[in-house]
Amino acid sequence: MTTILTDNVLDLWATPVLTRRVPADPGYTSRLRDLILSRQGDPGGTMIGVVDGDKTRSDLLRWNAPEIEPLRDWILDAAETMNAHTRSGVDSTGRQVPMVAEAWGVVYREYGFHHMHSHHDSAWSGVLYVDTGNLTAGSGTIEFLDPRPAATPHAHQVLAPVPPEPGLMLMFPSWLKHWVTPYIGDSVRVCVAFNIGFAR
Ligand SMILES: [Fe+2]
């Protein structure tokens, strides 16, 4: 019989992905949708990584509109949850390092999608779905690539955690590669994407 003197299994390098429903009622998401659509053509918006879609400028959290403050709070609160979960974001004295966030609206037209990418220069990234535009089930979803290189030849390398719906927020490490499958629907699919980093 084998005698075990010590025993411990380490969960190394797990990848946290937060899914959270924020208290965004239909009136709020409708107003935020209209706000994003009204700013869609502002100079400084891009189409980087997107096909059949547009991104607003990335200063959304500084827009002068009442919908922005709750959004900023939800994003920073979710980041605090992720920091606590991963025991990150504290300095040598144990104090929480302040966080800074940037966000932008993304509007996908029919068949619009986002190529695979990761987000640079930040700790956490995520999305809040604002209007899913009557999308066909299974379309317009974010998918994540298994970050373990040796796992990529295997079948379950892609994780699509939950179908998008208004008020659903996802947050994940900025280095995690992800993409958005084509939106199939009769309207537009609108979301807010964001990055959160530690203030230096
Ligand atoms: Fe992204």
Ligand 1 centroid–CA 96 distance in Å is 25
Range of the domain at 85: 19-198
Ligand 1 centroid–CA 70 distance in Å is 21
Give me the mean pLDDT over the 188-198 stretch.
Answer: 97
Ligand 1 centroid–CA 119 distance in Å is 6
Ligand 1 centroid–CA 117 distance in Å is 6
Distance of CA 100 to the CA centre of its chain: 15
Structure confidence at residue 155 (pLDDT): 53
Structure confidence at residue 11 (pLDDT): 85
Task: Please check whether residue 5 lies inside any domain of the structure.
Answer: no
Q: What is the CATH number of the domain that holds 160?
A: 2.60.120.620
Out of 15-19, 64-68, 144-148, 175-179, give the one with best mean pLDDT: 64-68
Ligand 1 centroid–CA 135 distance in Å is 19
CA pair distance 116, 127, nearest whole angstrom: 15
CA pair distance 51, 130, nearest whole angstrom: 19
Task: Please check whether residue 8 lies inside any domain of the structure.
Answer: no
Task: Please check whether residue 14 lies inside any domain of the structure.
Answer: no
Task: Please check whether residue 134 lies inside any domain of the structure.
Answer: yes
Task: Please check whether residue 162 lies inside any domain of the structure.
Answer: yes
Ligand 1 centroid–CA 9 distance in Å is 32
- Residue for token digits 């100079």? 43
Ligand 1 centroid–CA 118 distance in Å is 6
Higher per-residue pLDDT: 190 or 161:
190
Ligand 1 centroid–CA 115 distance in Å is 9
Task: Please check whether residue 176 lies inside any domain of the structure.
Answer: yes
**To the nearest whole number, what is the mean pLDDT of the chain?**
92
Structure confidence at residue 156 (pLDDT): 54
Cα-Cα-Cα-Cα dihedral sign, residues 29, 106, 76, 87: positive
Kindly list the distances between the CA atom of residue 96 and the CA atoms of 73, 93, 197, in Å, as whole numbers in the listed order. 16, 9, 12
Structure confidence at residue 150 (pLDDT): 76
pLDDT in tens, 140-164: 999 988 888 777 666 555 666 678 9
Task: Please check whether residue 12 lies inside any domain of the structure.
Answer: no
Ligand 1 centroid–CA 5 distance in Å is 46
Closest CA to 127 of 80, 73, 166: 166
Task: Please check whether residue 94 lies inside any domain of the structure.
Answer: yes
How many structural domains does the chain have? 1
